[in-house]
Amino acid sequence: MGQHHHPLLFQLGRADYDAGTGRLCWHCALAEPALPELVAALALELDCRLGDHQWGADRHCWSLEFEGTRLRLQYELLCDSLWLEAERADERDVVAFLAQLWSRQ
């Protein structure tokens, strides 16, 4: 992982890892038009492969893959929250690992 080389990544700031839910969370207001570029930069920063993008009225969801582990990155507009979680509960350790890498930035 680099050191937040993409300017949009600075908007994310510090992330919190919740071991109870297995989520890595950022609390920040993001401009909806900038989300695709920011998510692509974040996926690159975390060494993840970016998959499909789904969205509804107030939530966006992207699929990612890190070394064979399927992840979900979600952004909810109403609460200005972006979070990363494993699709399977038994793979939460991968998100914990990515949280450690992010915190070293």
Prediction pTM value: 0.89
Q: What does the pLDDT read at residue 32? A: 85
* Mean of pLDDT values over 25-32: 90
- Average pLDDT on 94-104 reads 91
Tell me, what's the pLDDT at 1? 46
Instruction: Write the class of the CATH domain 7-103.
Output: alpha beta
CA dist 1 → 7, 25, 36, 97, 101 (Å): 15, 18, 20, 12, 7
Could you tell me the residue ranges of all domains in the chain? 7-103
6 confidence band (pLDDT: 50, 70, 90): confident
How are strands ordered across the β-sheet holding 59-66? 16-18, 23-27, 81-86, 69-76, 59-66, 49-55
